[in-house]
Amino acid sequence: MAHGPATLADGWGKYISRWVFTTNHKDIGTLYLWFSFAMFIMGGAFAMIIRAELFQPGMQLIKPEFFNQMTTMHGLVMVFGAIMPAFVGLANWLIPMMIGAPDMALPRMNNLSFWILPFAFAILTSTLFMEGGGPNFGWTFYAPLSTTYAPDTVNYFIFGVHIMGASSIMGSINIIATVMNMRAPGMTYMKMPLFVWTWVITAFLLVAVMPVLAGAVTMMLMDINFGTSFFDAAGGGDPVLFQHVFWFFGHPEVYIIILPAFGVVSQIIPTFSRKPLFGYSSMVYATAAIAFLSFVVWAHHMFTVGMPIAGELYFMYATMLIAVPTGVKVFNWITTMYRGSLTFETPMLFSIAFVILFTFGGFTGMMLSIAAADMQYHDTYFVVAHFHYVMVAGAVFSGTAAVYYWLPKWCGKMYDETMGKVQFWIAFIGFNITFMPQHFLGLAGMPRRYADYGLQFADWNMVSSIGAFMYGGAQILFLFNVIRTIGWGKPTDDPKVWEGAEGLEWTLPTPAPYHTFSTPPKVK
């Protein structure tokens, strides 16, 4: 452990084995982040294919069957391959540095959690090249589309999801064990940075619901291959059972994606406001409340499926309750900025955009939660617009902010501020051009997941596609800026990097040494 990590100067063999055999939380964090960016580019390419096809009405470029595979794979790759691993990467890098731990609690399992992912996604994407094509039933894979009417390759999807779930569960157990067991002396729970808090609650959600997802795909596997009738009413089962099981996983899953994003923003906004976070403890309780509520609202995704009226009412009101803790968070971020000495570096720009656009996406969520109104919105582009406001402007924007914010600490070099700001404005404008019109399309009745549409939807679809290409272009700029920083960025050795930064990670030298906190710091 005394020697430093192998670099390219030690030869390719040693350099590759460093990354493959590593037990270092920073190396594993880096692996997660690069993997996630690769998946982000792949999922983004699928989205570009979708938007290119929808640029004009009529079938232009691809066949409807392939379009279905693209919508499915775009969703799966972005949720499980891009966003989730990105936040696990941040957790790996930051949690040990933030709580004063020498590493993650179970370092070898940490490496295993990562290296399962390339196998899982190789299996998943290989189906695109198999006979029958890849999964074509939407990322929510409702039965019987995903069972009775699925291509044979669905079995690869099922087992891919299984090992990916194992990876998530192991990663989460590791985070929980690290936070519960590895905090430096004096680092009480209520002194932990909010990013650590949001992640430990996220990890709890993951351990609770990934096994349910495993159960759902196992039921599919049995129905498809072994003659069971979970999702077949002829045998006494019910296709709606699938939706209940899936959304019992799926609703906590969307908070799994957004809670770490809340954590990131709660670190960044105080730094550039030069004020401590307003309402720290209420932030912690709000996060816990959101996590609890996420388990009891799942059927609001299923208002049109034919539930008892009591069920519709319960799930409607329970869903609306989520606005309360979420509102607490939004007001706390705004109040943190109130009368602060604000500066608008790239991470801050992305964080402010997060607060505005996430709140917007939250409000459309409130509209969707009204069971009676949802009859009109259900499965239209309004839903697509809603969840892209929270997934993209929420999770992806905060992930981008996090990379800009901590990259100088990680590699000891500054990114190009102008390029970062240019990227922000292209991404911000491109994003809104893409998804704002989709609200109008949805309210006008355009259904989601179709390869073609009526002429009345043509104009806004064209606008949306133009915005999508803009947003896609901004990501190339992001990649370029990150590579440029790591290779040729202006060196910095200021431990704080940012004037207003607070927290243990900013007490370490810049760039952060390979092993940090071998002796635990004292926290007052």
Active site residues: 74, 103, 139, 167-168, 251, 253, 255, 266, 300-301, 326, 329, 448
- Least distance (Å) from another protein to the CB of residue 105? 4
Nearer residue to another protein within complex by CB, 106 or 321? 106
Nearer residue to another protein within complex by CB, 55 or 115? 115
- Least distance (Å) from another protein to the CB of residue 315? 13
Residue-by-residue DSSP string for 147-181: TTT--TTHHHHHHHHHHHHHHHHHHHHHHHHHHHH
CA–CA separation, 353 vs 360, rounded Å?
A: 10
- Least distance (Å) from another protein to the CB of residue 177? 4
- Least distance (Å) from another protein to the CB of residue 517? 7
Which residues, other chains included, contact 205 with Cβ-Cβ below 8 Å and sequence gap of 6+?
A: 252, 253, 255, 256, 259, 291, 294
Nearer residue to another protein within complex by CB, 181 or 343? 181
Instruction: Give the residue from 389, 390, 405, 387 showing the smallest Cα distance to 350.
Output: 405
Nearer residue to another protein within complex by CB, 102 or 340? 102
Nearer residue to another protein within complex by CB, 107 or 340? 107
- Least distance (Å) from another protein to the CB of residue 276? 24
Are 135 and 146 spatial neighbours (Cβ–Cβ below 8 Å)? yes
Instruction: Give the residue from 87, 95, 266 showing the smallest Cα distance to 184.
Output: 95
- Least distance (Å) from another protein to the CB of residue 344? 37
Which residues, other chains included, contact 121 with Cβ-Cβ below 8 Å and sequence gap of 6+?
A: 39, 77, 81, 160, 164
> Residue 190 gets which letter from DSSP?
G
CA–CA separation, 40 vs 397, rounded Å?
A: 13
The amino acid at residue 408 is P
In 182-238, which ranges are continuous DSSP H helix?
194-225
Strands 490-491, 413-414: pairing is antiparallel
Are 96 and 182 spatial neighbours (Cβ–Cβ below 8 Å)? yes
In angstroms, the Cα distances linking 385 to 370, 438, 440, 470 are 17, 5, 9, 17
- Least distance (Å) from another protein to the CB of residue 251? 14
In 295-416, which ranges are continuous DSSP H helix?
309-321, 323-337, 346-369, 371-377, 381-390, 397-411
**β-bridge partners, 413:** 491
- Least distance (Å) from another protein to the CB of residue 218? 8
In our burial notation (b when 16+ CB lie closer than 10 A, e otherwise), range 274-305 reads: ebebbbbeebbebbebbbebbeebbbbbbbee
For residue 394 the two structure tokens come to: 């929420």
Nearer residue to another protein within complex by CB, 214 or 468? 214
For residue 502 the two structure tokens come to: 């607070």
Nearer residue to another protein within complex by CB, 221 or 352? 221
CA–CA separation, 419 vs 412, rounded Å?
A: 18
- Least distance (Å) from another protein to the CB of residue 210? 7
Angle (nearest 5°) at CA 218 between 448 and 177: 95
Nearer residue to another protein within complex by CB, 317 or 338? 317
Burial class (CB in 10 A: 0-12, 13-18, 19+), 342: middle
Nearer residue to another protein within complex by CB, 11 or 64? 11
